[in-house]
Amino acid sequence: MNSSTERSAPVVNRDELIDRMMGSIPMAERMLKRFVDTANADFDLMESTVRLGDKPAIASLAHRHKGTAQTMAIPRVAQCAAELEQRAHTDPTSKLLAILGEMRMLHDEVRQVQQLGLANLI
């Protein structure tokens, strides 16, 4: 779903994020921490709805996560969430779980960025 060049780009678009936070690095870091702290619970909820086959709920949760990831300038996560939202009604559980798996991996990258601090991100 992602090209190799996109994969090599930083998971968080630092400039875009800081611009959206009106130039405030502390604000950007605070919101990024909040994203990291809540994302796991979001993924767990999405995973259980996938396993339960609640398609409208999958689409709705994925949509919201897409919005959050866009706000936080994390395009690859937003793209995965968009795919999950789009495929929620059509694709088999295994495919949806695979997308979720990819999102969790990207999320680990986000957590690393957050722990490192935005000031240290080039």
SS3 category, 109: helix
Q: What are residue 11's phi and psi, to 5 degrees?
A: -65, -35
The distance of closest approach from Cβ of residue 19 to other proteins in the complex, given in angstroms and rounded to an integer, is 7
Using CB under 8 A, count the residues that bind other proteins.
Answer: 19
User: What mask of x and - would describe binding to other proteins in positions 5 to 34, judged by CB under 8 A?
Assistant: --------------xxxx-x--x---x--x
Burial class (CB in 10 A: 0-12, 13-18, 19+), 17: buried
- Contacts with other proteins in 58-117 (CB under 8 A)? 60, 63-64, 67-68, 70-73
Closest CA to 88 of 55, 43, 57: 55
CB of 65 to other proteins, least distance (A): 9
CB of 81 to other proteins, least distance (A): 12
Between 26 and 98, whose beta carbon lies closer to other proteins?
A: 26
- Contact between 46 and 100 under an 8 Å Cβ cutoff? The reply is yes
CA-atom Rg of the chain in angstroms: 14
Which residues are near other proteins by CB under 8 A?
A: 19-22, 24, 27, 31, 34-35, 38, 60, 63-64, 67-68, 70-73
